[in-house]
Amino acid sequence: MTEPSGDVSDHELCRRARRGGEEARAAFALLVARYQPTVSRYAARHLRDPAEAEDVVQETFLRAWSQIARFRPGTNFPAWILAIARFLCLARLQDARRHPPPAPLGEAEAPPAPPGGPSREDRERLRKAYAALPFPQREVLSLRLFDGLSYREIARLTGQSEVTLRSRLHDALVRLQGLCREPPP
């Protein structure tokens, strides 16, 4: 009898995935199903291009599968998989700086604002303010607030100290607040 996917720990799934064979593929498929939404959100927030983000998600899990034998038992799988995604996102961003894409032909119309929610203008202002943040601030903001990682987990992922990360998050929130208060151009 098979166990429901929610009842099996990441540690156990990683152990099974390291064994090889059909059981390994099934275990890794459960890890993909469990963490693909997190990796997708991370890549989408940092790359802001759905096609690029999807490519990074696929490449992240391909690399994780090919390197699962190197995964150390007891390591935090979500942090490990996000570290792979982070590396790939940084490489894409660096490549985009070297080879900027052509200017878009026209802007698509934004979806209507939900009732009782922020206006279209407010959402656009927040999106532009978030995009204007330097990558290190945008990264800590998204990992902490959107992905719910602890400062310790973010520190392991980025190689920065927890004090630096707390400072970056504070600076990002202050900067966002200031950018959102500015009147639209």
Answer for the pair 143, 81: CB distance below 8 angstroms, yes or no.
no
Residue-wise over 74-102: b if at least 16 C-beta within 10 A, else e? eebbbbbbbbbbbebbeebeeeeeeeeee
Place of tokens 């990360």: 165
Residues 52 and 131: their CA atoms lie apart, in Å, by 16
pTM of the model: 0.62
Residues 70-80 have pLDDT tens digits of 888 778 899 89
| pLDDT at residue 1, as a whole number | 35
Answer for the pair 10, 32: CB distance below 8 angstroms, yes or no.
no
CATH topology for the 7-99 domain? Rna Polymerase Sigma Factor; Chain: A (1.10.1740)
- Summarize the confidence of residues 80-89 as an average pLDDT: 92
- Summarize the confidence of residues 105-130 as an average pLDDT: 66
Residues 158 and 184: their CA atoms lie apart, in Å, by 34
Residues 9 and 11: their CA atoms lie apart, in Å, by 5
Choose between 98 and 49: higher pLDDT: 49
Residue 184 has pLDDT above 70, yes or no: no
- pLDDT above 90 covers a percentage of the chain that reads 28
Packing angle, helices 151-158 and 162-181, rounded to 10: 100
Start-end of CATH 1.10.1740.10 domains in the chain: 7-99
Answer for the pair 152, 162: CB distance below 8 angstroms, yes or no.
yes
Start-end of CATH 1.10.10.10 domains in the chain: 118-185
Residues 37 and 100: their CA atoms lie apart, in Å, by 28
End-to-end C-alpha distance for the chain, whole angstroms: 62
| pLDDT at residue 28, as a whole number | 93
Which of 10-24, 49-63, 117-131 has the least mean pLDDT? 117-131
Q: What is the average pLDDT value for the chain, to the nearest integer?
A: 82
CATH code assigned to 118-185: 1.10.10.10
